[in-house]
Amino acid sequence: MFRGKTAIITGGTRGIGKAIAEEFAKRGADLLLTYRGNDEAAETTAEMLKNYHIRVLLRKGDGGLPEFARLVAGEAKSEFGRVDILVNNAGVTKDKLLLRMNADDFDEVIRVNLSGAFYITQAVASIMIKQKQGRIINISSIAGLRGNQGQVNYAASKAGLVGMTLSAAKELGSRGITVNAVAPGYIRTDMTEVLAEEQKEAILKTISLKREGRPEDVAKAVAFLSSDDAAYITGQVLGIDGGMAI
């Protein structure tokens, strides 16, 4: 389905990003994956993905910097000749209650999660406009739609991604580019594994399907929105939360 296409996935070597990368690899896409710190995890992911007989490039750097975004977009274009899909997945958390959150806690999450997505979207959109085709998918969160205690910064960044999705969809649609978002709920990742059992049980009670989601659940939805089957879908936010937001 994606043979001959190129995808950039930010934060693509672990967790949800890794699952998206593998789903794309299964469908034949060549990949450029960005990551921030864990070289071993990145190399392990790249070697696994190459088993699908695709090309994989890794680029380490700070996704919250505009110069890094321009470098990544340029490298993808020079190495692969085009950029068909961008998945803005990179993100960080610095959870604290509102009254205990300092300026650095707030600013860093906004910088990486929201500003970083803007920078790479801007850089890639210029390539996609020339191609007259492209797919952009932003990984938001249920926290960006409903809020979450102790996550004022994170929820603000993810709500910002929703607004950016809607505005970019209006601007880029006439150029053949769709822009959508997904809003995962409680997905099993390294981030959720640190929660206490009581916290996990409390969260599961709020989910209609009574189970946690898997990174693969998010990956399949992102793959659909990136495919030709979703060519007439843009400016949408798809909840992947097992009914948590009902």
Catalytic residues: 154
- Cα–Cα distances (Å) from 175 to 4, 109, 180, in that order, read 21, 31, 15
Identify which of 191, 214, 213 has the alpha carbon closest to the alpha carbon of residue 204: 213
Q: How far apart are CA 22 and CA 31, in angstroms?
A: 10
Contacts of 70 (CB under 8 A, 6+ apart): 119, 123
For the four alpha carbons of 167, 184, 222 and 16, in that order, the dihedral sign comes to: positive
Burial (0-12, 13-18, 19+ Cβ within 10 Å), 107: middle
Contact 13, 190 (CB under 8 A): no
Are the CB atoms for 86 and 165 separated by under 8 Å? no
Q: Which residue has 């995890």 as its token pair? A: 41
* Residues 106, 156: Cα–Cα separation, whole Å: 9
